[in-house]
């Protein structure tokens, strides 16, 4: 890859801090931005997505698209929010790849389950639960644009 993979660690102490972090990423947004989220149930993936949606000016309430797989929201840039957990790695006929080049911000929950089709350049965020409120987020940028994104935000 790019020699040593960069990794950034951020600790959030509550939902508000997770949302603020997401809003900081949104402020550096660009079309076709791909953010992959992984972490166990209740670790903050959907909260993070809410932060991005709020910052994009989306008023609708954001819930995890568990049954629909993909939800589209209109904002400053379109937000494509995916939850690919139920696909169990089988993405045939879902059309996920089309969203990577639609000019929006793509947020994928449970992204590890579809890593074969993820774009090479992306931001990966792993959520680890420390206790009821505290989370450790491990951010791994893939590609120069995402490395610069992390450096700008963190």
* Radius of gyration for the alpha carbons in the chain, expressed in angstroms and rounded: 14
Identify the band that residue 67 occupies on the pLDDT scale cut at 50, 70 and 90.
confident
pLDDT score at 5: 81
Residue 73 Cα to chain centre, angstroms: 15
30 is written with which tokens?
């660009």
Residue 3, pLDDT above cutoff 80:
no
How much is the pTM? 0.95
**What's residue 16's pLDDT?**
97
Partners of 9 in the beta sheet? 138
Q: What is the mean pLDDT of residues 107-115?
A: 96
- In angstroms, the first-to-last Cα distance of the chain is 22
Place of tokens 């992390």: 150
Q: Which CATH topology does 8-153 take?
A: Rossmann fold (3.40.50)
Quick: pLDDT tens for 83-92. Answer: 999 998 999 9
- Tens digits of per-residue pLDDT, 26-65? 999 999 999 999 999 999 999 999 999 999 999 999 998 8
């Amino acid at each position: 890859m790019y020699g040593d993979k960069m990794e950034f660690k951020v600790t959030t102490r509550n939902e508000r801090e997770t949302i603020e972090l997401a809003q900081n990423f949104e402020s550096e947004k660009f079309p076709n931005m791909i953010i992959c989220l992984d972490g166990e149930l209740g670790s903050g993936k959907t909260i993070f997505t809410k932060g991005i949606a709020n910052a994009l000016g989306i008023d609708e309430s954001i819930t995890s698209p568990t049954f629909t797989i993909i939800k589209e929201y209109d904002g400053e840039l379109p937000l494509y929010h995916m939850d690919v957990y139920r696909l169990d790695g089988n993405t045939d006929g879902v059309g996920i790849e089309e969203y990577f080049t639609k000019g929006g911000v793509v947020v994928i929950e449970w992204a590890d389950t579809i890593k074969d089709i993820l774009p090479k350049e992306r931001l990966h965020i792993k959520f680890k639960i420390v206790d009821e409120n505290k989370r450790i987020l491990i951010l791994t940028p893939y590609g120069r644009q995402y490395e610069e994104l992390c450096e700008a935000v963190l």
